[in-house]
Amino acid sequence: MRERLQPTRGLNRDEIEQAVASRRRFLASCALLAGTPFVGGCAVANMFHSSNPEADRRAADKATKDALKELEHEASLHSDKKLVVCFIGVTGGPNAANLSSATRELLEEGNFRLLEKNVVQAALKESGVSPNNVFIPKEREKFVSELGEEVDYFMAGYVEKQEDEDDEGEKSKKTVYKLDLVNVATNRKSEFVAEI
């Protein structure tokens, strides 16, 4: 079924596409989570098989280190100030908590200021903004207003099932960890993916 776009004001095509992708991700999470609340920067679902902590750690290492390379490059271009990064957390799958913790650990080593987890959670709650909607510009404005400070980059992780097809038409499913990084000033999104 095709998704219908509601009329929008003041959004360009990229913002609309980002909003639709974000909404699809959110609706998929809702279907997966079936009533499980977003707690502590991560959510738990029962659809995925039980996780392997070592595989989770490897996936978090790969995706986060790739994101850190981009952030370090950006930090070198802005030597006049320390970049502020807001990590929203990870959604989807029973391993979301492991991935969220491992990602945050690595981000804390970066050459930028990472907002405290409890500050982010409080701002989400007070603003009424869903974690998956932080990438929509108007929703992001409400969230940042509640944070009370400017943010240079937003990050959020997702555990997803993907279906691959090889050259011979054989299909296989895999679980991946996707880490999205959005530059607030340009609204440019980078995605870092690692297989779990």
What digits encode the pLDDT tens for the residues 137-193? 899 999 999 999 999 999 999 999 988 877 788 888 899 999 999 999 898 999 999
Q: How confident is the model at residue 134 (pLDDT cuts 50, 70, 90)?
A: confident
Give buried/exposed letters for 136-151 (b at 16+ CB in 10 A, else e).
beebbebbbebbeeeb
Give mean pLDDT, residues 5-12: 50
Q: pLDDT per residue over 33-70, tens digit each?
A: 333 334 334 333 334 444 688 999 999 999 999 999 99
Non-local (6+) Cβ contacts of 132 within 8 A are 22, 23, 25, 26, 29, 91, 156
* Choice between 8 and 52, residue whose per-residue pLDDT is larger: 52
Q: How confident is the model at residue 112 (pLDDT cuts 50, 70, 90)?
A: very high
Question: What pLDDT does residue 21 have?
Answer: 58
Non-local (6+) Cβ contacts of 50 within 8 A are 94
Q: pLDDT per residue over 56-111, tens digit each?
A: 999 999 999 999 999 999 888 877 889 999 999 999 889 999 999 999 999 999 98
Tokens 């392997």 correspond to 52
Q: How confident is the model at residue 122 (pLDDT cuts 50, 70, 90)?
A: very high
Q: Under a CB-based contact definition with an 8 Å cutoff, are residues 132 and 29 in contact? A: yes
Cα angle 42, 157, 97 (rounded to 5 degrees) comes to 30
Query: What token pair was written down for 36?
Result: 């499980």
Q: How far is CA 196 from CA 48, 98, 153, 159, in A?
A: 12, 12, 25, 9
Residues present in the chain in total: 196
CA distance 90 to 94: 11
Q: Which domains, ranges and CATH numbers included, belong to the chain?
A: 13-160+172-195 (3.40.50)
